[in-house]
């Protein structure tokens, strides 16, 4: 086994400037503010086109706030910032002691997500405050073209964090697309005409608002075991959404240590800017995995919704799924729950699973056909360090390439520490990861690129999803990071687009996931040859993503570019049947666009020759959608199939 130091890159103490952006970084302001400055508000501006953050200190009681503006329009009203520890109250009575500014310029690549190559340009300002008793806190802010973020830095010996006073106050006239908070992050998103309208309660930290100054998506980044996960709390009729911590439990800080909290972020701009943003990843620490050559995304045949627990306990059934994946050219087959239980005893782990299990045989069978195996694990198998090492080292020795870890159902500090341990261990054992019953990405995929996807979404397994929920996800949950919705389950009678096979097909592109777990049965694919043909063409990753048109909760059409230059397009719509006009914003010149839509007798594939900037008229059924693929047009070309 390679040494840990050869596999993991230690977290850098400073941010690295990419050479192409060095001049920008050097030119940025870097100055220490005069501590005697009597000003009560300070602006932070970023690269051209960025919003402006305004940090202020109330002259009456010394409470700090932060506002966000675009030009003369308000994205976020002055909103409380601060936190309270065992030994200090950093939410009021503060005095400003100084400010320093610097530029942050980074370039990096991502194994998953909306784009492979990323460039992050941000202005960072550190505001220093102290209490009347001399306790110090820094408010670290960053402003980028697509967002504003802040976090707190506390010197050592301030005790545990009891609560945050962080909040987001929306201006009048804002609407909302938000979902109630639950530990597994799987509740549906709902659209409200006003940000004051949602009932009192807790909401997920991925709420989208349409404000007079542009869209604003609340998010969190760089969450790890030094802190607990956050959610939003809201009182009926209020335009303020407060930050709440897990079960209102104190965040434990090691005695003698300081603390840097996760980022509180507002992704902002027009709808396309927010949808295409990588701001959450940009804020996160760089990759800790030195060699990422073994991390390979791609489509998978997922057998749970296709065959259930019986398939999980059957080698013969799994071999048939491997055969089908090989015929389609899909690189992975995912074996879900049941494979390590005693045959016929669903709740009893076979004590001889290491020596008698059929998984090594399945791995060998798949390897001969070019299909690699990923397996499901209950998270409790990985809580004890000795047991965790036994399970992961065995899977690595067998040749299993990935693990789907399930049922964490918590964002407590203790559970986030578990994530830290599992992330290090899976990287060391060269195992790709899909977290289910989980937190949402929050930058983790940049720091630990072996994490190809998360659930944290009301996905295909749910029986209560709505068309509105489907049309909300590209603008909320999937902005944050990869999302294992598990689309393609044509055989499921519970899906909200049950009358639209084309809409179900389009979800495989509309929703980004490093491992796109296709949830249908082989029989359902064979009964829909146009869907099968489309799914066989899905690439392993995306070069870039563009929003073509959308209205959160009502419509979403995204185009994603494959490495070979083709664009795949997915669209979903809530409401009545209609013909929709989709702008072709893929690049200059002429394009051949093959649409797959619902016809009276099944799916219909239709070629269209269009010019850049044209609108493509696409018929959709009620609560339906479509799929498409586009390639460069030339005389005589009738298909984009490579």
How do the domains of the chain map onto residue ranges? Answer: 4-283, 295-456, 464-483+497-513+541-642
Residue that wins the pLDDT comparison between 530 and 356: 530
pTM (predicted TM-score)? 0.94
Q: 295-456: which CATH topology?
A: TIM Barrel (3.20.20)
Strand bridging mode 578-583 / 298-302:
unpaired
Residue that wins the pLDDT comparison between 418 and 11: 418
Domain 464-483+497-513+541-642 in CATH 3.40.50.720? The answer is no
Share of the chain above pLDDT 70, in %: 94
pLDDT band at 3 (very low <50, low <70, confident <90, very high): very low
User: Residue 518, by phi and psi: left (phi above 0), alpha (psi -120 to 50) or beta?
Assistant: beta
Summarised one tens digit per residue, pLDDT across range 79-102 is: 999 999 999 999 999 999 999 999
- The answer to whether the CB of 574 falls within 8 A of the CB of 614 is no
Cα separation of 211 and 269, whole Å? Answer: 10
Q: Give residue 39's pLDDT.
A: 53
Q: What number is the average pLDDT over the span 117-134? A: 97
Task: Kindly tell me the burial class for residue 535, based on how many C-beta atoms sit within 10 Å of its own C-beta (0-12, 13-18, 19 or more).
Answer: buried
Q: What number is the average pLDDT over the span 512-525? A: 97
Instruction: Provide the token pair at 615.
Output: 């609108």
Instruction: Provide the token pair at 150.
Output: 């802040």
User: Residue 439, by phi and psi: left (phi above 0), alpha (psi -120 to 50) or beta?
Assistant: beta
Q: What number is the average pLDDT over the span 148-171? A: 96
Which of 424, 461, 536, 543 is catalytic? The answer is 461
Which of 406, 411, 594, 623 is catalytic? The answer is 406
Cα separation of 405 and 419, whole Å? Answer: 11
Average pLDDT, the chain: 93
Q: What number is the average pLDDT over the span 218-247? A: 98
Q: Give residue 256's pLDDT.
A: 87
Q: Looking at 9-18, 159-168, 472-481, 486-495, which range is the least confident one? A: 9-18
Q: What number is the average pLDDT over the span 4-28? A: 37
Q: Beta-carbon neighbour count of residue 520 at 10 Å?
A: 26
State yes or no: is 406 an active-site residue.
Answer: yes
CATH class (in words) of the domain with range 4-283:
mainly beta
Instruction: Provide the token pair at 12.
Output: 């850098």
Q: Strand, coil or helix: what is 25?
A: helix
Residue that wins the pLDDT comparison between 617 and 642: 617
Q: What number is the average pLDDT over the span 491-508? A: 97
pLDDT band at 306 (very low <50, low <70, confident <90, very high): confident
Share of the chain above pLDDT 90, in %: 88
State yes or no: is 333 an active-site residue.
Answer: no
Q: What number is the average pLDDT over the span 564-576? A: 98
**Which residues, 6+ apart, have CB-to-CB distance to 354 below 8 Å?**
390, 394
């Amino acid at each position: 086994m390679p040494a840990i130091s050869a596999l993991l890159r230690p977290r850098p103490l400073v941010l690295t400037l990419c050479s192409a952006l060095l001049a920008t970084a050097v030119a940025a302001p870097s100055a220490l503010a005069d501590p005697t400055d009597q000003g009560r508000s300070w602006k932070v501006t970023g690269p051209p086109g960025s919003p402006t953050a305004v940090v202020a200190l109330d002259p009456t009681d010394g409470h700090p706030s932060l506002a966000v503006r675009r030009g003369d329009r308000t994205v976020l009203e002055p909103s409380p910032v601060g936190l309270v520890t065992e030994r200090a109250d950093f939410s009021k009575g503060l005095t400003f002691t100084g400010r320093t500014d610097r530029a942050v310029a980074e370039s990096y690549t991502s194994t998953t997500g909306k784009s492979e190559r990323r460039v992050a340009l941000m202005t960072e300002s550190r505001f220093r405050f102290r209490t009347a008793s001399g306790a110090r806190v820094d408010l670290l802010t960053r402003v980028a073209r697509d967002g504003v973020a802040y976090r707190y830095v506390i010197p050592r010996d301030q005790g545990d964090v009891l609560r945050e006073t962080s909040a987001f106050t929306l201006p009048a006239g804002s609407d909302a697309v938000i979902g109630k908070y639950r530990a597994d992050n799987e509740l549906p998103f709902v659209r409200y005409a006003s940000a004051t309208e949602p009932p009192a309660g807790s909401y997920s930290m991925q709420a989208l608002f349409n404000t007079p100054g542009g869209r604003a998506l609340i998010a969190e980044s760089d969450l790890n075991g030094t802190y607990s996960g956050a959610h939003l709390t809201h009182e009926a009729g209020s335009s303020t959404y407060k930050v709440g911590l897990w079960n209102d439990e104190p965040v434990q800080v090691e005695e003698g240590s300081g603390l840097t909290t996760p980022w509180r972020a507002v992704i902002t701009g027009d709808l396309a800017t927010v949808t295409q943003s990588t701001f959450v990843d940009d804020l996160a620490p760089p990759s800790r995995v030195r060699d990422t050559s073994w991390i390979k995304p791609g489509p998978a045949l997922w057998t749970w919704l296709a065959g259930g627990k019986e398939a999980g306990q059957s080698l013969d059934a799994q071999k048939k799924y491997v055969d089908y994946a090989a015929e389609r050219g899909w690189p992975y087959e995912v074996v879900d729950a049941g494979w390590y239980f005693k045959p016929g005893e669903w709740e009893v782990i076979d004590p001889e699973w290491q020596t008698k299990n059929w998984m090594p045989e399945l791995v060998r069978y798949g390897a001969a056909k070019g299909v690699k195996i990923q397996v499901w694990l209950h998270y409790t198998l990985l809580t004890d360090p000795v047991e965790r090492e036994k399970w992961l080292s065995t899977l690595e020795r067998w040749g299993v390439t990935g693990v789907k870890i399930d049922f964490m159902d918590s964002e407590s500090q203790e559970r986030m520490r578990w994530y830290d341990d599992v992330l290090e261990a899976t990287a060391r054992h060269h195992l790709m990861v899909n977290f289910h019953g989980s937190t949402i990405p929050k930058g983790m995929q940049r720091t630990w690129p072996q994490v190809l996807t998360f659930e944290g979404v009301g996905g295909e397994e749910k029986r209560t999803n709505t068309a509105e929920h489907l049309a909300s996800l590209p603008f909320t949950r999937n902005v944050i990071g990869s999302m294992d919705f598990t689309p393609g389950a044509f055989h499921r009678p519970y899906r909200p687009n049950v009358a639209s096979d084309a809409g179900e097909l389009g979800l495989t592109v509309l929703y980004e996931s490093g491992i796109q777990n296709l949830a249908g049965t082989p029989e359902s694919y064979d009964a829909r040859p146009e869907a099968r043909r489309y799914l066989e063409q899905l690439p392993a990753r995306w070069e870039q993503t563009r929003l073509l048109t959308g209205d959160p909760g009502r419509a979403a059409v995204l185009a994603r570019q494959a490495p070979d230059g083709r664009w795949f397009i997915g669209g979903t719509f809530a409401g009545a049947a209609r013909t929709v006009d989709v702008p072709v914003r893929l690049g200059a010149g002429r394009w051949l666009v093959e649409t797959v839509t619902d016809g009276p007798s099944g799916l219909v594939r239709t070629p269209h020759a269009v010019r850049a900037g044209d609108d493509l008229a696409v018929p959709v059924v009620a609560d339906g959608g479509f799929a498409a693929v586009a390639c460069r047009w030339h005389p005589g070309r009738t298909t984009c199939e490579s």
